[in-house]
Amino acid sequence: MAVRLKDMLKREPILSSGHRMCAGCAAPTVVKLMGMALRGPTIVCEATGCLEVATTIYPFTAWKIPWIHVAFENAAAVASGVVEAINAMRDKGRYKDEQVDVIAIGGDGGTFDIGFGALSGALERGHKFVYMVYDNGAYQNTGIQRSGGTFPGQETTTSWAGKVEPGKRQRKKPLAEIVAAHKIPYVATVDPYHYRDFITKFRKALEADGPAFIHAFSPCPRGWRSDTSKSIELAKLAVETGLHPLYEVIDGKEWIMSGPSKRLKELRPVDEYFKTQGQFKHLFKPEWAEFRAWIQEEVLKDWEELKRKCGVS
Amino acid sequence: MTVVERVPTDKVVVEGMTGDAAIAHALKQCDIDVLAAYPITPQTIIVEDFQKFVANGEVKTRVIPVESEHSAMSACVGASAVGARVATATASAGLALMWEILYCAASMRMPIVLAVANRALSAPINIHNDWSDSYGARDSGFIQIYCQSCQEAYDTVIMAFKIAEDHDVLLPVMVCIDGFILSHNVERVEMLPTEAVQQFLGVRKPAIALDPDNPVTMGPLALTDYYFEFKEQQDRAMARVPEVFERVESEFEKMTGRRYGRFETYRVEDADIIIFTHSTPGGTAKAVVDALRERGEKVGVVRLRMFRPFPAEALREVLRNAKAVAVFEKCRSFGAPSNPLALEVRTALYDLDERPLVTDFVIGLGGRDVPPSTIVEGVEKTKEYLKAGRAPLYETLGVRK
Ligand SMILES: Cc1ncc(C[n+]2csc(CCOP(=O)(O)OP(=O)(O)O)c2C)c(N)n1
Ligand code: SF4
Ligand SMILES: [Mg+2]
CATH number of the domain enclosing A289: 3.40.50.970
Residue B214: pLDDT band (50, 70, 90) is: very high
Neighbours of A143 (CB within 10 A): 12
Measure the CA–CA gap between B329 and B331, rounded to whole angstroms.
6
Measure the CA–CA gap between A161 and B225, rounded to whole angstroms.
38
Closest-CA residue, ligand 1 atom 26, reads A72
CATH architecture of B265-396: 3-Layer(aba) Sandwich (3.40)
8-state DSSP, B217? E
Task: Please tell me which of the candidates A80, A89, A94 has its beta carbon nearest to residue B64.
Answer: A80
Neighbours of A250 (CB within 10 A): 17
For chain A, how many structural domains are there in total? 1
Neighbours of A209 (CB within 10 A): 11
Q: What is the tens place of the pLDDT at every residue in A35-89?
A: 999 999 999 999 999 999 999 999 999 999 999 999 999 999 999 999 999 999 9
Q: What is the tens place of the pLDDT at every residue in B37-86?
A: 999 999 999 999 999 999 999 999 999 999 999 999 999 999 999 999 99
B261 and B278 in contact (C-beta within 8 Å)? no
Residue A6, pLDDT score: 86
Residue A175: pLDDT band (50, 70, 90) is: very high
Residue A165: pLDDT band (50, 70, 90) is: very high
Measure the CA–CA gap between B22 and B114, rounded to whole angstroms.
14
Task: Please tell me which of the candidates B78, B84, B220 has its beta carbon nearest to residue A61.
Answer: B220
Residues of chain B with pLDDT > 70: what percent?
Answer: 100
CATH architecture of B9-256: 3-Layer(aba) Sandwich (3.40)
Q: Which residues of A touch B83 (CB under 8 A)?
A: 85, 89
Closest-CA residue, ligand 2 atom 6, reads A22
Measure the CA–CA gap between A15 and A21, rounded to whole angstroms.
11
| Closest Cα in chain B, distance from residue A196 (Å) | 26
Helix (H) or strand (E) holding A261: helix A259-262
Residue B2: pLDDT band (50, 70, 90) is: low
Return the domain boundaries, chain B: 9-256, 265-396
Measure the CA–CA gap between A95 and B82, rounded to whole angstroms.
10
| Whether pLDDT at B372 is above 60 | yes
| Closest Cα in chain A, distance from residue B202 (Å) | 13
* Closest listed ligand to the CA of A54: 2
The alpha-helical segments, DSSP class H, found in B183-339 are 194-201, 227-239, 241-256, 280-294, 312-319
| Closest Cα in chain A, distance from residue B169 (Å) | 20
Residue A313: pLDDT band (50, 70, 90) is: confident
The residue among B349 and A3 whose pLDDT is bigger is B349
Total beta-carbon pairs less than 8 A apart between chain A and chain B = 163
Distance of CA A248 to the CA centre of its chain: 13
Residue A2, pLDDT score: 57
Query: What is the best residue among A30, A56, A136, A139 to mutate for testing ligand 2's pocket, by most ligand atoms within 8 Å of CB?
Result: A136
Q: Is the minimum distance from the CB of A51 to ligand 2 under 6 angstroms? A: no
Strand segments, DSSP code E, in B280-354 are 299-304, 306-308, 324-329
Residue A97, pLDDT score: 83
**Interchain proximity A85–B60, CB inside 8 Å:** no
8-state DSSP, A46? E
Closest-CA residue, ligand 1 atom 4, reads A72
Residue A224, pLDDT score: 98
Global pTM reads 0.98
B326 and B300 in contact (C-beta within 8 Å)? no
Mean of all residue pLDDT scores within chain B: 98
- Residue A270, domain extent: 5-310
